[in-house]
Chain A
Amino acid sequence: MRRSSGVVVSLSTAMGLPAMAANEGLQLCVFDSRRGHQEGQELDKILFFFPSDFPYSVQLSVVGLSEGIITFTRIFSPDAACEVIEEERHSHVFYQAEPDIWMVMIAEKNKDNESDWRCDALIDVLKEAHSLFTMFNDSLQALLDKQPSGELARSRLYTFINDYLSDFYVGKKIQVPSFRDCLKERRTVQMLTVSREVAIEVQSLATVIGISSLGSIACKSLILFQDLLVATTLSPGDTANMFTYAVLRSSPEEYHRGSHDSSMGEQSNRYHMPRPLQRDNWSKGKDGFLVCDNQLNVGGLVYLAPVVWLQESEEHMYLCIYQHRSLTIIVLIPVCSQTDGEQGIALVKKQLLENASEKIVHVEEKLSRGWGGENAYHVSGYRYLLVDTDKSISRTSPPGKVMTLAKDSLFTLNKLREAIDLEKTRANREKPDHEKYLEVCIRAKNNSWIIAKVTQGRELYMVIERANETLLYASDAVEKFSDRYCDGAFSLD
């Protein structure tokens, strides 16, 4: 999904935004613009607000301002309303998650420069939260349709987004993605590069999983090694969501990490809510499949695997996760195929293990043998981010290596990315079906080269520090990198 509009509004503090407590680093709200139009029922508009202990008046004024700006900017840009408001001390980002549902994030800027962020990165957080929510809960619209009072949607949002935000806590404070994260791309998949031989083994496993179930039901699957994807039979969008979830919550490191105090407020649990994003949700069952603890504990209920909604195929699927050492296999079984619930799933699981367990062990061994460690994709001299926007795939320098970069370099790259984002949006608006070719090389204050190259649906961002000062050198370096690691995708001319 590409941003289709680029209305950026810059406001000064003079606009009289609600005063916020100095400590509140972040506010996040979800509201439905169709609700709460009547006097006295304004609160009905708000589906979710973080922090939840904010007084209603403040909540209302935040939502009111956001809605006002959206309505205002629609005058100029009917198709795509406001995306960002930059204040002196705050950034407001808007995301139209569903036709009438808006998500707004307000991030406070610090005095130090640490809070220099890229708005697209903030929007990506909203997008990610929403797509994960949709995957596990169905769309908000559907929830509202199911229960017009909004109680269901609110309670689901409450647990889900709070669980989601728990990942952003640094100490007691929420830290939104800053310029230091500019060599990362949210909502993309990181792939493991394998040799042809291993790839065939992996595909063989994937196809066996695909057809191993009873009858003609086609199971979908994702295969991960460590926290890298090796095979998928889902569409790119669903793959990205599933992958994000897997890396967040069910990768081996993740569920071994032990307890993390998410210190959630205990709201009255009137609805039974699946909390797939809650930490320590999964534990390994006897058969090697992960078991969702939370749901086991629900008194009297028969345990059922969590159900996810695939956007591409528009199907509800049972989510089963199998783990063997570093190999994670996510199997999705169509809900419509399983009429006898848990028994049916158990049967499919059993079948699957019968047919594939040998292969699983074999593939895991092969992958482990070829695994180059966490710095496998480090290219010395370069700090890079490579994004294939069509396939939602990205590859980056290992985080440990990115940390070694000077602040200036990252700062400049962040600015450059911001500019490129804008340029891309603009180009997309003018010629939606024509892909942009773009190349920028900047020499930063600390004499590092900051390079961005966009071509045929691929993007390359790069920082080269301690490099020669000529531009020729920089472009040669890109060319070399492209030929070596991107099959020449960036050295077309």
Chain B
Amino acid sequence: MNLQLLMLKLTHRSKSRPLIMSSSSVFSHGRSTQPEARESNDVRLARVCHPLPQYKSKKDVVGVISPEHEKRRSSSVNHIPFGVGYHRRARLSDDYNGSNKSGFCLFCLIASDPAIRILVNCASQTKEYGRCISKRVPEIERDMCLKEFLALKACMQSMIRNKVGLSGSGALSHVYIQNPPLRCNVPGTQGLYYDDGNKLLLAPSSDQVLSWKVGPSTQPDPPNSDFIGEGPVLSIRYSLDGKLIGIQRSNQEIQFKNRESRETFSRRCRPDSESILGFFWTDCPSCDVLLIKTSGIDLLSYEPDLNTLRLVEAKRFSVSWYVYTHESRMVLLASGMQCTTFSGYQFSSGGIIRLPKFEMAMTKAEANHKPVLAAEDIHIVTIYGRVYCLQFDRVSMQLNLYRFYRDAVVQQGALPIYSSRIAVSVIDNVLLVHQVDAKVVIIYDVFLDCLSPISAPLPLLLRGSSVSGRQALQVEDNLTSAYGAMIYGDSWTFLVPDLICDIDNGLLWRICLDLEAIASSSSDVPSVLEFLQRRRSDPSKIKMLCLSIMRAIMLERRPISIIMRAIDALVTSYAHLVKMENAFQGGDRSSKKSQNSGSQSANTSNIVSAESLDETMNRGKSIIKGSESETQQSTIRNLVNVNDNHAKKSTSKASLDSVSDSDGDANLDAMRSNSESEGLGCSSSRSDSCISNQQEPQITSVAISPDEMYHFVFALVEEELGGDPAYLIAVIVEYLRCSTKEKLRVHPNLYMMTIQMLARTNRYSELALFVTNKVLEPSKEVALQLLEQGRQNFQIRKLGMDMLRQLSLHHDFVTVLLQERYYLEALRYARKHKVITVQPSLFLEAAVAANNSQHLAAVLRFFSDFTPSFKLTSDYNRYHTMLIEMTICYIRENQLTWTGLDEHGNYSIASIG
């Protein structure tokens, strides 16, 4: 069975955009129709961005067979993932018109001949849809061409329904969950609770609680258990130091248990007027526990001696519900009729920040009916160290994005929603919006407040363990059949930031990004590289990916403008890293200085160090190389706090400027203090924090250094590219341009390579310009390379000689002059610059070779006069004898008679008759 890619190129003129998509890009199954759909050969329709196989300069390719897919198909014949979408890569059109005008490609991944017929049968709908899209490309918007899309979808569905079966997983995916999950379905437990402060998954049973540490990898560690006594459990959280367990027993009571002394005490509220909504532990210096009640919040401090909680402060106002994430240290308290009035607090180790009260807008469905905002529609996310709140507006089907500043809450836009149920995850600062009903994920990178998706909506995939590539496909299919039904099942709970808990089955999954798939699905390579350079999760892999992308676009000879932007992305990223490093080194010193005072005033200090700034910004992690002793570091980390903008401005303004992505003023940054990982269970290492994998000292940055750029891009590409190097030279010039702009030095071998390529293609005049304008920075290596390449061309050789002279490499210059037989000039130069390292015999030999007795005599005389003890050397004797012989010959040949004039002074030729 041939799997074919059918391409329909629809004409439209548009520069490639970050991403083009519309609301209609997702076909959502209604939940009620799902079983039916599964049976009735339904088709999943989504806009798919799929990397096209590479083929060149065929203008009219219609079908391309992809062997990989073919193989997969043969293993599971009975389903066809069917995709219709823009193809942003548009390599086909790039290739034949040589520009980056991405054509609009609507293509289908369909199986076998009958399937092609489907599209052919739906040709009119396809055309309609394509026409509509292309007409409106400049203003991409939600619901664009929805009508046409639905028509096409319906047509294809009806065609498919009559033909082939459908099942299982989507073939393409940018986001996946990795098998095996953490299994925590121990019999006798009642529900699962997630303690995000300690990253613990808790399963209370009748009288004890089992806890699993959720590390970077969901390794099946045996759970710890703690006795908590009998009673109902509404929620349960360990204190951040791990000494206490707080268990909410009812709306009125929270029980606290000291794990060491096993003593318990309770905190109750007034049963008539208030009830407890929840509680959480905090590392804020002034309190340990926050208790949220309908009547307000209590800030409580734990008194270890008395083993009780002391009320520090009570803030009174009515609360309908609250949302808290430990990651952001932020609690949002909803009040009002519609629950749209919010008070917010951030309880960070730097202190308490109170946000201004703010109102969230909700679209009215109809007159006189005011929707009420629910807690599950509010999500707090932390991206690039900034705190955002996402509000799902069910009426307008929008996800409103608010960013928190210290003194303001600003709405930053809205994301379209295509599902009645959504969930939000953040992985490596990438925002995932799960369209639960549609069973697809949309990915956003809100780095530059750009709210267009990274790639098209695609389903969440379940992957086998570490197998990759084709072998995995088989496994995947099996997995899919095992867990298929459960993907986006009702029992899924999405935990902050990147976990999925299947409560019914007791499974915990971690969501992963398939960066390779994301990268290959986009044609806008520079943007992809920028996106990848912002990722921190797996630096070595991302780096390799970036390098291979860079190589690929060069080998494909993409237009220089594209290459330029791609190089710019990489170079800028590296330059940023270097700046960070410098800032860190500067900041490190200051943090060392402040260490003493810091530890003295540990509880109150607001010391700022660049290091913790880094953490907050979640950038440039690799700078922390563990050079400092680990304990010192962590002490400081616990002490320091970035959040105090006052301190930030006064002490490390400079470093902040280079580091911060903030808008200059109060930036309510998320706390990333490491204290969370200290203490709880010595067995659990520091690597328990969700970001810990970014902190491992051995991990390098994703940024690509000039050396790597040379070794892994230019050197390899040069080998492969071969032929006319004009293109590569153009790329190198662009690279030099970007590097110079960022004041980075490139690898010296790059200059050698450029010289070789220019010389090889006889572009001597350009080479001369490169050298004289110092585009190729002068160095001894460059000069020697020029001499080497100039063996055939004296002008090039001369450039090398000039460079040696200008670099004041006197010895080398004299040697080269001698090689060029300019021995008198060499001698004069040697005298002027006092070069005594060149052997006299070389000069003498050159004079002998020129067969010029006068010159030989002059050279001999020079060394006799200026080099002490030269007359005692064997060289002197040898060449003196030679000179006499030459003179005799000369006299004889010219039949001269000896006049008695001794023009050379110290030798005599009296023997001649």
Contacts and interface: CB of A to CB of B under 8 A. Distances in A.
Interface of A: 194, 196-197, 199-201, 203-204, 206-208, 210-212, 214, 216, 218, 231-236, 239, 351, 354-355, 390-391, 434-435, 437, 456-457, 487-489, 492-493
B727 interface: yes
21 contacts: A196-B773, A196-B774, A196-B777, A199-B769, A199-B774, A206-B766, A207-B729, A208-B560, A211-B730, A212-B560, A231-B769, A232-B765, A239-B765, A355-B560, A487-B805, A487-B806, A488-B805, A489-B805, A492-B829, A493-B829, A493-B832
A204 B737 contact: yes
B438 to A, nearest CB: 40
A201 B737 contact: yes
Contacts of A232: 765-766, 769
Residues of B contacting A: mostly: helix
A203 B775 contact: yes
B798 A200 contact: no
B733 interface: yes
Contacts of B885: none
B764 interface: yes
A390 B790 CA distance: 14
Contacts of B99: 351, 354
B514 interface: no
A15 to B, nearest CB: 40
Given A207-B733, A233-B763, A236-B765, A489 B726 contact: no
A351 B98 contact: yes
Contacts of B773: 194, 196, 199, 203
Interface residues of B, number: 41
B733 A355 contact: no
B653 to A, nearest CB: 29
A457 B768 CA distance: 15
A136 B398 CA distance: 68
Nearest to A236: B765
Interface in B816-856: 821-822, 825, 828-829, 831-832
B318 interface: no
Contacts of B737: 200-201, 204
Contacts of A487: 802, 805-806
A33 B764 CA distance: 37
Nearest to A208: B560
Query: What 7 A-B pairs have minimum CB-CB distances, sorted nearest first?
Result: A493-B828, A199-B773, A207-B730, A196-B774, A204-B733, A200-B737, A203-B733
Interface of B: 98-99, 559-561, 724, 726-727, 729-730, 733-734, 736-737, 740-741, 763-766, 768-770, 773-775, 777, 794-795, 798, 801-802, 805-806, 821-822, 825, 828-829, 831-832
B798 A457 contact: yes
A390 B798 contact: yes
B726 A218 contact: yes
Contacts of B798: 390, 456-457
B231 to A, nearest CB: 71
A435 B798 CA distance: 12
Contact of A493 (B560, B726, B764, B831): B831
B769 A235 contact: no
B828 A492 contact: yes
Contacts of B831: 493
Contacts of B766: 203, 206, 232-233
B825 A437 contact: yes
Contacts of B729: 207
B795 A196 contact: no
B775 A210 contact: no
Given A200-B775, A203-B770, A211-B727, A235 B765 contact: yes
Contacts of A201: 737
Contacts of A233: 763, 765-766
Nearest to B561: A355
A390 B729 CA distance: 24
A430 to B, nearest CB: 13
A493 B774 contact: no
A234 B765 contact: yes
A200 B766 CA distance: 12
B740 A196 contact: yes
B734 A204 contact: yes
B724 A216 contact: yes
Nearest to B769: A231
A312 to B, nearest CB: 9
B734 A197 contact: no
Given A211-B726, A457-B798, A492-B825, A235 B733 contact: no
B768 A214 contact: no
A464 B120 CA distance: 86
A390 B777 CA distance: 22
B825 A493 contact: yes
A210 B730 contact: yes
Given A199-B774, A232-B769, A351-B98, A489 B802 contact: yes
Contacts of B730: 204, 207-208, 210-211
Given A239-B765, A355-B559, 16 more contacts: A196-B775, A197-B740, A203-B775, A206-B766, A207-B560, A207-B729, A210-B730, A211-B560, A214-B98, A235-B764, A390-B794, A435-B822, A457-B798, A488-B805, A488-B806, A489-B802
Contacts of B774: 196, 199
A212 B764 CA distance: 21
A326 B608 CA distance: 52
A406 B765 CA distance: 38
B727 A200 contact: no
Which of A197, A207, A435: most chain B Cβ within 10 A?
Answer: A207
A335 B228 CA distance: 90
A334 to B, nearest CB: 14
